[in-house]
């Protein structure tokens, strides 16, 4: 009986601090390629996947020059993916964040640097405590120039920072599906949620400590 209780406690803790552990009947809603955020004509967008999108969205929204960050799904072939579907790890999609930014205030290269500097790119298919192909590391590119920038950053990090091979996929962008509404700004709207307190906030604070000069003066 004590062993069973111990297993249940551990299982409960894993669910509590798992991004996918937050379940809701709203999961049945389909994603959509339409964004509520209307970018300016000069606004550009970059796409990154590096674990739970609640964390990633909060990180990029704290950056000077970033106008909006939207959580969604990309990298797979399944049409209209949902949170529940991608949780199976069979859609090919990864939790991805669309980063809308002002190129006059922040460069694509800086965004790539932040992307690699805010997660462990050597981890295959996940970021602790979330594992599965839906949490894999991906840097998407839309142009040859963006691809070159990503590859140059990877080469530099491989020589100066990481001994292990960088597992980040460098992938041509095809389509982005916006995630269900309740995922948007999740970290900011749910400060007392278990996963947010245990994982999202510590990860965000670690990033802020590492890149203080890139942060917005106001709270994201």
Residue 166 is given by DSSP the state: P
In a domain, 70, yes or no: yes
The CA distance from 23 to 196, in Å, is 14
Torsion of CA 211, 74, 120, 13, to 10 degrees: 100
108-143: burial string, b at 16+ Cβ within 10 Å, e else: bebbbbbbbbbbbbbbeebbebbbbbbbbbbbbbee
Element (H, E) at 85: helix 83-86
Report residue 210 as tokens: 């590492």
The pLDDT assigned to 36 comes to 62
What's the domain range around 14?
2-214
Residue 190 lies in a domain: yes
Per residue in 122-132, pLDDT (tens digit) is 999 999 999 99
CB of 57 closer than 8 Å to CB of 100: no
Q: Is residue 220 part of a domain?
A: no
- pLDDT digits 0-9 by tens, 29-38: 444 444 467 7
Task: Classify residue 219: in a domain, yes or no.
Answer: no
- Whether 12 is in a domain gets the answer yes
- The pLDDT assigned to 220 comes to 59
CATH of the domain at 156: 3.30.1060.10
pLDDT above 80: residue 6? no
What is the pLDDT confidence band of residue 22, given thresholds at 50, 70 and 90? low
Using alpha carbons, select from 186, 208, 207 the residue that is nearest to residue 197: 186
Residue 55 annotated as catalytic: no
Compute CA distances 50 → 34, 41, 105, 121, 210, whole Å: 22, 28, 23, 8, 17
Beta pairing partners, 126: 131
52, 58, 99, 111: which one is catalytic?
Answer: 52
pLDDT tens-digit readout, 57-114: 999 999 999 999 999 999 999 999 999 999 999 999 999 999 999 999 999 999 999 9
In the chain, how many domains are there?
A: 1
DSSP for 7-76, please give it.
Answer: HHHHHHHHHHT-GGG---GGGGSPPBS--SS---TT-EEEEEEES-HHHHHHHHHTBTTEEEEEEEEESS
Taking 80 as the threshold, does the pLDDT of residue 16 lie above it?
A: no
- Domain membership flag for residue 118: yes
Are 83 and 125 in contact by the 8 Å Cβ rule? The answer is no
């Amino acid at each position: 009986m004590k062993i069973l209780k111990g297993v249940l406690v551990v299982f409960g803790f894993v669910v509590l601090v798992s991004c996918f552990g937050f379940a809701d009947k709203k999961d049945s809603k389909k994603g959509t390629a339409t964004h509520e955020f209307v970018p300016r004509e000069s606004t550009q967008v970059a796409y990154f996947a590096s674990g739970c999108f609640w964390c990633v969205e909060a990180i990029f929204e704290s950056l000077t020059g970033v106008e909006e960050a939207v959580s969604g799904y990309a990298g797979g072939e399944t049409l209209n993916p949902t949170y529940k579907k991608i949780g199976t790890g069979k859609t090919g999609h990864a939790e991805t964040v669309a980063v809308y930014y002002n190129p006059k205030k922040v460069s694509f290269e800086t965004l790539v640097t932040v992307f690699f500097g805010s997660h462990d790119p050597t981890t295959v298919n996940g970021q602790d405590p979330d594992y599965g192909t839906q949490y894999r590391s991906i840097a998407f590119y839309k142009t040859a120039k963006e691809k070159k920038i990503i590859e140059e950053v990877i080469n530099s990090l491989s020589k100066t920072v990481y001994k292990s091979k960088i597992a980040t996929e460098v992938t041509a962008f095809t389509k982005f599906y916006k995630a269900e509404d309740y995922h948007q700004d999740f970290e900011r709207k749910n400060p007392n949620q278990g996963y947010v307190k245990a994982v999202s906030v510590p990860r965000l604070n670690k990033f802020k400590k590492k890149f203080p000069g890139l942060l917005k003066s106001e709270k994201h």
